[in-house]
Amino acid sequence: MTRLRVVFMGSPIAVVPVLDSVRELGWDLVGVYTASDQQAGRGRHVEPTPVKRYALEQGFPVFQPASLRDEQTFDELRSLAPDLIVLAAYGELLPPEVLDLPRWGCLNVHPSLLPRHRGASPVAAAILAGDEMTGVTLMIMDRGLDTGPLLGQREQRLWPTNRSGQLTEQLFVLGAELLKEVLPEYVAGRITPAPQAKEGVSISRKMKKEQGELDWFKAAVQLEREVRAHDPWPGSATRWNGKRLQVLEAHAMTADTLALPGTVVQIGMDPPLVGVATLNGLLVLHQVKQEGRKTVAATEFIRGNQEFLDARLPS
């Protein structure tokens, strides 16, 4: 097998299995690029990215440039003489000179079945769309947004309980397995990159904080998807008594109700359930968290806040 000089680029904990797969191939991992250390927690301690922490444990050189577009950073990358660059959730578009640098190209592990859900939030987009299947794609990057030719794909069923954080981890584990299987074949010349289909293209945009506000004039089915898709970011919430009320777990229920969208209603007594009327159906609440308080079951929240019943959200 050809022995390559490889650079890895990524940051979150979900992509550590991909980095580990690169290590297991036995090639020369000459550099790991990751985001800058960030302040975290109540004490605002500076924390390294999970990828940095893993790379240092393994003894790999770590680089944390603010951008790949300045000349000094590019010269540093070029001095590593990479034959291949592997990306997984790095969070930055590569400039043309970086794309053209390695002999075998820049490969991206993308958590969707391209060309569906190109862009920044593919996992959340699949949940929001109600897709039955999702998966991961190994792609050679070009100058477009996730438009490059494909080296391989793996499918996975998208279950109605999947949440973005959990599903992202699963897909990158799948991607790590795909990487170990495909890369040696690609370098050996036994896999030819295939262009993406021109049909079925969709784009997912970066999630914004305001997308986490629940709009009760949507259907309950869509709101349930939002609760799952927006976990952990930006979360799903409404307002009650002037405070933010996070909805952490909920499900849609088909029901005929004369209540206006946003009205809190009690559903039966055994077990006692609470739901919120929507444009179509009820969103049954299971776990909630009011601003400044701990996460509780919705039934427990009701016991301590009887006035929540019949309230109109947001309020």
Tell me if 63 sits within 8 A of 31, measured CB to CB. yes
Predicted confidence (pLDDT) per residue in 214-238, tens digit: 999 999 999 999 999 999 999 999 9
253 pLDDT higher than 90: yes
Average pLDDT over residues 44-69: 94
Average pLDDT over residues 55-66: 96
Average pLDDT over residues 77-85: 98
Domain 5-204 adopts which CATH fold? Answer: Rossmann fold (3.40.50)
Task: Find the angle CA(228)-CA(231)-CA(233) to the nearest 5 degrees.
Answer: 140
Tell me if 290 sits within 8 A of 240, measured CB to CB. yes
Q: What is the DSSP string of 6-56?
A: EEEEE-SGGGHHHHHHHHHTT-EEEEEE-PPPEEETTTTEEE--HHHHHHH
Q: What is the DSSP string of 131-158?
A: -SEEEEEEEE--SSSS-SPEEEEEEEE-
Token reading at 237: 């919430």
CATH 3.40.605.10 matches 209-308:
no
Task: Find the angle CA(124)-CA(126)-CA(130) to the nearest 5 degrees.
Answer: 115
Quote the CA–CA distance of 128 and 131 in Å, as a whole number: 8
Domain ranges of the chain: 5-204, 209-308
How high is the mean pLDDT of the chain? Answer: 95
| CA 179 to mean position of chain CA atoms | 19
pTM: 0.95
Tell me if 226 sits within 8 A of 128, measured CB to CB. yes
How many other CB atoms are found less than 10 A from the CB of residue 244? 16
The CA radius of gyration of the chain, in Å to the nearest whole number, is: 23
Give me the percent of the chain exceeding a pLDDT of 90: 91
